[in-house]
A and B are shown apart, each in its own frame.
Chain A
């Protein structure tokens, strides 16, 4: 079945460092791909998404490109801030038993940014 493999954490960086969190997937068909972020004590928030191959999602300085040839959707940011400290989840959309869409999530990567 479909799956998402995400980089193990935690990741600890200094402020203004470059961030990459790797995400690869296996899927039949053409799923949409997502990055969600979970700040401490809060629910998941959509960070960015891409719905087809070669699409680039971007938000708040984060970017990820839907690479069908490498089945990847790596998250990048050029200069992280302390406020970016959170858990990041990669996900793809899949079809649930009910026929509606569900998400398949990666395991999450905890990012800690030090001042």
Chain B
């Protein structure tokens, strides 16, 4: 298993600004994922962030808007850039550990409100 923490837990930001969300894991993992959960909707994968390679973005998400860093095997950041109210969501990171098959472990999420 894995225990994941995220910072901040929530934030209220002004449009046009950027916010960086941190994800810390208690063990070394290769695969990390960033998801978005818009109000009343399901979770959508933004990108896969594997250590040692560039993040891979899903359709509809681009690096300029959601730059990701993955400096080591226990840490990652997601930045939400030039925010608009449409970016108001919960952002979650998750990890996959080899011993757990297809199971992913999720952080508590960051609730972002953009005014």
List the interface of chain A (C-beta within 8 A of B).
4, 32, 34, 36, 41-46, 49, 51, 89, 93, 96-98, 100-103, 105-108
Whether A103 contacts B45 in the complex (CB less than 8 A), given A32-B101, A51-B102, comes out as yes
Residue of A nearest to B5 (CB): A43
Residues from chain B with a CB closer than 8 A to the CB of A51 are 101-102
Interchain CB contact under 8 A, B31 and A97: no
Q: B31, B40, B92: which contacts A44 (Cβ < 8 A)?
A: B92
The size bracket of the interface on B is 20 to 34
The complex places the Cα of A46 from the Cα of B92 at a distance, in Å, of 15
Q: Min CB distance, A1 to chain B, in Å?
A: 10
Q: Min CB distance, A70 to chain B, in Å?
A: 21
Binds A, one of B11-19, B67-75, B81-89, B104-112: B104-112
Interchain CB contact under 8 A, B42 and A98: no
Residues from chain A with a CB closer than 8 A to the CB of B103 are 34, 46, 49
Q: A41, A46, A102, A107: which contacts B45 (Cβ < 8 A)?
A: A102
- Which B residues from 53 to 83 make CB contacts under 8 A with A? 56-59
B43 contacts A by Cβ under 8 Å: yes
The complex places the Cα of A36 from the Cα of B40 at a distance, in Å, of 16
Interchain CB contact under 8 A, A103 and B43: yes
Q: Is the interface of B mostly helix, strand, loop or mixed?
A: strand
Whether A97 contacts B48 in the complex (CB less than 8 A), given A44-B92, A105-B42, A108-B42, comes out as yes
B25 contacts A by Cβ under 8 Å: no
Interchain CB contact under 8 A, B101 and A102: no
Interchain CB contact under 8 A, B96 and A96: no
Residues from chain A with a CB closer than 8 A to the CB of B40 are 107
Residue of B nearest to A92 (CB): B102
24 A-B contacts (beta carbon < 8 Å): A32-B101, A32-B102, A34-B103, A36-B106, A41-B108, A43-B4, A43-B92, A43-B106, A45-B106, A49-B102, A49-B103, A51-B101, A96-B56, A97-B59, A98-B50, A98-B56, A101-B102, A102-B48, A102-B58, A105-B44, A106-B42, A107-B40, A107-B41, A108-B42
Q: Min CB distance, A78 to chain B, in Å?
A: 25
Interchain CB contact under 8 A, B58 and A97: yes
